[in-house]
Amino acid sequence: MPLGLPSKSVVIEPYDPEWPRLFEEERRRIVAATGHIVAGVHHVGSTSIPGMSAKPVLDIAVLLHDFDDGERCIEPLEEIGYEHRGFSEDIPGDRFFRTGNPRTSQLHVYAVNSPVWREHFHFRDYLIAHPEDAKEYADLKLALAERYPMDRPSYTAGKASFVQGVLEKAATELHAQDDSL
Asked whether 52 and 60 are in contact (CB, 8 A), the reply is no
Which CATH code fits 19-176? Answer: 3.30.460.10
DSSP-derived 3-state class of residue 181 = coil
Q: What are phi and psi of 123, to 5 degrees?
A: -60, -50
In tens digits, the chain (181 residues) has pLDDT values of: 579 998 889 999 999 999 999 999 999 999 999 988 899 999 999 999 999 999 999 999 999 988 788 888 999 999 999 999 887 665 555 688 999 889 999 998 888 887 777 888 899 999 999 999 999 999 999 999 999 999 999 999 999 999 999 999 998 887 666 555 5
pLDDT of residue 118: 82
Cis amide bond preceding 102, omega within 30:
yes
Give residue 119's pLDDT: 85
Per-domain residue ranges of the chain = 19-176
pLDDT at residue 28, rounded to an integer = 97
- Integer-rounded Cα radius of gyration of the chain: 16
Does the pTM surpass 0.85? The reply is yes
The pLDDT, as a whole number, for residue 88 is: 63
**pLDDT at residue 95, as a whole number:** 81
CB 146 within 8 A of CB 12: no
What does the CA dihedral 113, 116, 120, 125 come to, rounded to 10 degrees? Answer: 60
The pLDDT value given to residue 50: 95
